[in-house]
Amino acid sequence: EVQLLESGGDLVQPGGSLRLSCAASGFTFRNYAMTWVRQAPGKGLEWVSIITAGGDYTYYSDSVRGRLTISRDSSQNTLFLQMTSLRADDTAIYYCARVTIEGAFDSWGQGTLVTVSS
Amino acid sequence: EIVMTQTPLSLPVTPGEPASISCRSSQSLLDSNDGNTYLDWYLQKPGQSPQLLIFTLSYRASDVPDRFSGSGSGTDFTLRISRVEADDVGVYYCMQRLEFPYTFGQGTNLELK
């Protein structure tokens, strides 16, 4: 069974940093691209970033480029999202998801909450 | 970026009746290189993470009932549910992945009458 478990969400002050993790199990992690999607409280889904299976290519939404960095460690079966220069509008539940060979997001974690507030 | 617009935003449906949700993109989602249309549909049930329903316009994801179907072309797309069941309640999102940044529609909240 595919499992994705996010962690690292917390309350952080504006301008602060945080690192999210997504522990994967139940599939061959190194063979799949992975992605982050976020959801502000009471709002819709917003795609954040994606990383290829080999970790050689990454893409970002305009709102996070330069502040958030996606990475992966296939030896640990873990996806990361390094967050810096955090702003109030980064407050959201952050979901990691597996990307199929076709490119869709077929398995999602339960999410981790990031709150940016003073 | 490609803007995705869903209608309606709220959809009350009687159980057993059909339902349809529309999604429009600001530019064509047809990839001229491979002929695929990169439009997916997701459902977020109350209190849950999103789940994949339909990918690449019309392909049902694993374990998705055949009551769900996706169709459309170019910039206009439709998700249809042939007979709504109680378990179908939630917010439905379309998403384009033709080009970065990927973008979602605002969501359509399906509820039972």
How far apart CA A102 and CA B110 sit, in angstroms, is 27
Nearest to A44 among B40, B100, B106 (CB): B106
**Residue contact A44–B104, C-beta within 8 A:** yes
How many Å apart are CA B109 and CA A118, to the nearest integer?
33
Select from B49, B100, B104 the Cβ nearest to the Cβ of A46.
B104
Provide, rounded to the nearest whole percent, the portion of chain A with pLDDT above 90.
Answer: 100
- Average pLDDT score over residue span A14-41: 98
Is A101's Cβ below 8 Å from some Cβ in B? Answer: no
Q: What is the mean pLDDT of chain A?
A: 98
- In the predicted model, what is the mean pLDDT of residues A19-41? 98
DSSP assignment string, B62-113: TT--TTEEEEEETTEEEEEESS--GGG-EEEEEEE-SSSSPEE---EEEEE-
Euclidean distance between CA atoms A30 and A55, whole angstroms: 9
Q: Which residues in chain A have Cβ-Cβ distances shorter than 8 Å to B37?
A: none
Contact call for residues A83 and A18 (beta carbons, < 8 A): yes
Q: pLDDT band at residue A27, thresholds of 50, 70 and 90?
A: very high
**Contact between chains at B93 and A44 (C-beta distance less than 8 A):** yes
pLDDT band at A9 (very low <50, low <70, confident <90, very high): very high
What are the phi and psi torsion angles at A6 (to 5°)? -85, 150
Comparing CA positions, the residue from B62, B1, B91, B29 lying closest to residue A60 is B1
pLDDT band of A84, cuts 50, 70, 90? very high
Whether B42 sits inside 8 A of A106 (CB atoms) is: no
How do the pLDDT tens digits run along chain B, 113 residues long?
999 999 999 999 999 999 999 999 999 999 999 999 999 999 999 999 999 999 999 999 999 999 999 999 999 999 999 999 999 999 999 999 999 999 999 999 999 99
Q: In sequence order, what are the beta bridge partners of A4?
A: A24
User: Residue A47's pLDDT band (boundaries 50, 70, 90)?
Assistant: very high
CA nearest neighbour of B75 among B105, B50, B111: B105
Provide the 8-state DSSP code for A74.
T
Those of residues 43-82 in A touching chain B at CB distance below 8 A are 44-47, 50, 59-62
